[in-house]
């Protein structure tokens, strides 16, 4: 496939080696765990360069910013799927890149960096950015340190970013189809990731009209039980089930799952920074009455739900002394979903008057108490299929 010539869209007028020397601007905003991943930083820098050097008149600044959001967001989400981290990085990215890519004057202000959108795209089968293909012949053995052309001295190729943008555009349309109508309750927060221009519109502004791929929903092959079956410890299986369920329910007073999730977010923000998991807590609440007793007895299901909710919503709270108050408010909202046969959850707050610090000490002890038999079997017989 031929490289797109200057004037046809994405273009970078820099050498790989030259661009890589600016990786320090990304190290300022990336977590320490990714500050030495050269390929990851190369991908982000090259995407920024390919956008910054787009010829004048092809894309205005707002659309360049939309383009950076989709390309860089998808690349970064593949590696960093933490809500707070992704939001922080995406907000800081344009300013960092502008030190080298002078034509990127924009802001990305989507809450949590649009993590819900990118997560949904990957859930529906989004492929990662393909590795670079190095075309130079580099097999001169003893002569390679003499006259051989260094792969890093070649120009950045924007062709794979063009192809990646097309894949993003196709998957974006699949997400919009998946998150419309009756499926909206499964997509809380996804719409916050939509920018002014869709990836398809951005692609066509540079390369002309193309027929979009017909959106096809990719149904996950594994069932909930299959997704969690590789968890060896009983507590892992239960938490996996609560964190993966898609169960929804409505209350007798017609309170919907979506409404309750929105209310929960307001409660959480009074005590901690919302990590956008309120919808999953609602699904877990709806699912508990239907849980099987194959892993844990029914009498323990409410305890697992309690520890799951507390850990999911308030783990990073800076108001630890008000933890029990926050949990009671959450449960009061969740109880509005009770009353119908499909959502008859009778769980209550397990412990009142405890701090977050106490909760954080109790949860691992609770888990260990339920995992002890499995762990002991593994230590007694190394051949036993033990915990991961």
Angle in degrees, 0-180, between the axes of helices 61-79 and 115-123, rounded to the nearest 10: 60
User: 323 with 350: CB under 8 angstroms?
Assistant: no
| The pair of three-digit structure tokens given for residue 320, joined into one six-digit string | 């630890």
Report which of 284, 277, 73, 58 is spatially closest to residue 172, judged by C-alpha positions: 73
- Dihedral of alpha carbons 79, 196, 176, 264, sign: positive
Per-residue confidence (pLDDT) for residue 259, from 0 to 100: 87
Per-residue confidence (pLDDT) for residue 7, from 0 to 100: 57
Per-residue confidence (pLDDT) for residue 339, from 0 to 100: 61
Per-residue confidence (pLDDT) for residue 90, from 0 to 100: 93
pLDDT along the chain (388 residues), means of 10: 59 91 93 93 95 86 93 94 88 91 82 85 83 51 44 79 94 82 64 89 84 47 52 85 83 77 90 80 91 85 96 86 95 83 76 93 93 83 58
- Judged by DSSP in three states, 15 sits in strand
Per-residue confidence (pLDDT) for residue 295, from 0 to 100: 72
* DSSP H helical ranges for the chain: 16-20, 24-27, 38-52, 61-79, 83-97, 115-123, 159-178, 199-207, 224-228, 234-244, 257-271, 278-287, 298-314, 323-334, 356-380
């Amino acid at each position: 496939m031929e490289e797109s010539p200057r004037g046809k869209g994405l273009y970078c007028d820099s050498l790989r080696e030259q661009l890589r020397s600016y990786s320090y601007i990304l190290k300022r905003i990336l977590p320490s765990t990714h500050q030495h991943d050269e390929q990851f930083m190369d991908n982000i820098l090259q995407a920024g360069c390919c956008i910054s050097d787009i010829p004048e008149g092809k894309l205005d600044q707002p659309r360049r910013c939309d383009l950076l959001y989709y390309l860089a967001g998808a690349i970064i989400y593949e590696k960093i799927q933490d809500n707070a981290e992704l939001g922080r990085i995406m907000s800081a990215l344009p300013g960092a890149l502008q030190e080298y890519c002078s034509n990127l004057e924009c802001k990305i202000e989507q809450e949590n960096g649009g993590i819900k959108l990118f997560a949904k795209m990957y859930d529906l089968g989004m492929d990662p950015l393909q590795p670079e293909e190095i075309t130079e012949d580099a097999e001169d053995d003893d002569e390679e340190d003499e006259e051989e052309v260094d792969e890093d001295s070649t120009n950045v190729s924007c062709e794979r970013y063009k192809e990646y943008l097309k894949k993003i555009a196709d998957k974006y349309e699949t997400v919009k189809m998946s998150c419309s109508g009756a499926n909206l309750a499964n997509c809380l927060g996804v719409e916050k990731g939509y920018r002014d221009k869709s990836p398809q519109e951005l692609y066509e502004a540079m390369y002309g009209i193309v027929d979009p791929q017909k959106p096809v929903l990719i149904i996950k092959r594994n069932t909930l039980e299959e997704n969690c079956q590789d968890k060896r410890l009983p507590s892992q299986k239960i938490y996996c089930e609560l964190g993966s369920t898609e169960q929804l329910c409505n209350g007798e007073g017609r309170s919907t799952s979506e409404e309750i999730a929105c209310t929960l977010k307001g409660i959480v923000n009074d005590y901690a920074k919302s990590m956008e998991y309120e919808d999953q807590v609602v699904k877990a609440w709806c699912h508990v009455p239907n849980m099987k007793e194959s892993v844990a007895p029914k009498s323990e299901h409410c305890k697992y739900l309690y520890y799951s909710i507390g850990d999911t919503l308030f783990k990073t709270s800076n108001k630890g002394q008000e933890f029990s108050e926050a949990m009671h408010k959450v449960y009061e909202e969740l109880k509005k979903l009770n009353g119908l046969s499909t959502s008859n959850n009778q769980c209550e707050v397990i412990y009142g008057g405890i701090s977050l610090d106490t909760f954080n000490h109790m949860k691992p002890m609770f888990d260990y108490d339920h995992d002890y038999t499995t762990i002991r079997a593994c230590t007694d017989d190394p051949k036993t299929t033990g915990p991961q």
